[in-house]
Amino acid sequence: MRTIDPSELSYRERHQLVLSGIAPRPIALVATLDPQGRANLAPYSFFNAFASHPPIVAIGPAHSLRTMVPKHTLENLLQTRECTISVVTYRIAEQANLASAEYDAGVDEFAKAGLSKYPSQRVRPPGVAESPFIMECVLLEHIPLARERGGNGNLVLLEVVLFHVAESVMVNGRIDPNRMDLVGRLGYNWYCRASGTALFEIPRPSGCGIGIDALPEPIRHSPVLTGQDLALLASVERIPEPDPEFPRFPEGLRADSVEIELAAGQPWAALFAFLQMPEREPVQEQLLLHRIAQAFLRQRLVEEAWQTLLLQETARLRGVRDAT
């Protein structure tokens, strides 16, 4: 590990370190009006939600380090106390980037970025019509950050008073991430897309799992099972008892070799092939069983993974092998 003291870095190095390590960040397209009613739009990735009751979000518009001049977004927010935040999707990422250029005060970045205005109901600044998720916000608090040490950051807390969600991203009353297709900001010029193969689901634990520290030694120190695998095994509330009926193979199961079935992501067939094999060294058998259990875990079949691992006991294994 490289150990880095932020005070020893240049501003640029420190900025990129923060942006690269604390990523991906959602991007807020923040629309404000100046006191003359002229619209301003700019992207902010120092942005997140911090509460839902009531909904409170925050953005971090930094002062220019050289001049300590605040960004138009902050100036407008402090004067008019209202904004909208429209989330940035893949379809409008380039336009959001265009809106980040340093246009003079009073220049309408909606027009510059070719984005349309969605009328707001509770605040005056409009949202971005091309975004599927718009929040109407009022200013709660502005916290200048570490000014006494020359800091240039700002934390702006905003309460969301109204949401607008496009019907096109809803499926059965829920927002579908593939339809949202949000983008995230990382360090340097990197972005990512939160859709397709980038998405995966992890259900929240239903109770208190036994924890990785309570797993039997040979499992905890397995050369095969990863931290992800162990976390799934440790999510059970107690270590299962060996099931005398296990394995009950699906009807008409066909199996090639263990290796081929594992490569094909077929744990049942891999286990079937394994049980057809002649008895081997216990260490080798254990490694194969761990790999088959891992294949079950990749499909979140935790009970099957446990039962596979519980076959490890040689006497049991011999019995199951004879019966298969």
Ligand X SMILES: Cc1cc2nc3c(=O)[nH]c(=O)nc-3n(C[C@H](O)[C@H](O)[C@H](O)COP(=O)(O)O)c2cc1C
Among 34, 78, 100, 161, binds ligand X (CB under 6 A): 100
Q: Applying CB under 6 A, which part among 96-104, 165-173, 241-249, 281-289 lies near ligand X?
A: 96-104
- Can residue 104 be called a binding residue for ligand X (CB under 6 A)? no
Helices 302-310 and 282-298, axial angle in degrees (round to 10): 170
- Can residue 43 be called a binding residue for ligand X (CB under 6 A)? yes
In the complex, minimum distance from the CB of residue 174 to ligand X, in angstroms, rounded to a whole number:
27
Residue 271 Cα to chain centre, angstroms: 33
- Can residue 84 be called a binding residue for ligand X (CB under 6 A)? no
Among 27, 39, 232, 255, binds ligand X (CB under 6 A): 27
- Can residue 131 be called a binding residue for ligand X (CB under 6 A)? no
- Could you give the CA distance from residue 66 to residue 114 in angstroms, rounded to a whole number? 30
Nearest 5°: the CA angle 28, 14, 101 is: 40
Residues 248-267 interacting with ligand X (rule: CB under 6 A): none
In the complex, minimum distance from the CB of residue 291 to ligand X, in angstroms, rounded to a whole number:
42
Residues 175-234 interacting with ligand X (rule: CB under 6 A): 185
Q: Between 127 and 267, whose beta carbon lies closer to ligand X?
A: 127
Sign of CA dihedral 123, 125, 130, 131: negative
Q: How far apart are the first and last CA of the chain?
A: 49
- Where would I find the H helices in the chain? 11-21, 72-80, 93-98, 109-113, 177-180, 217-220, 227-233, 258-263, 267-276, 282-298, 302-310, 314-323
Q: Which residues bind ligand X (CB under 6 A)?
A: 27, 40, 42-46, 60-62, 71-73, 97, 100, 102, 185
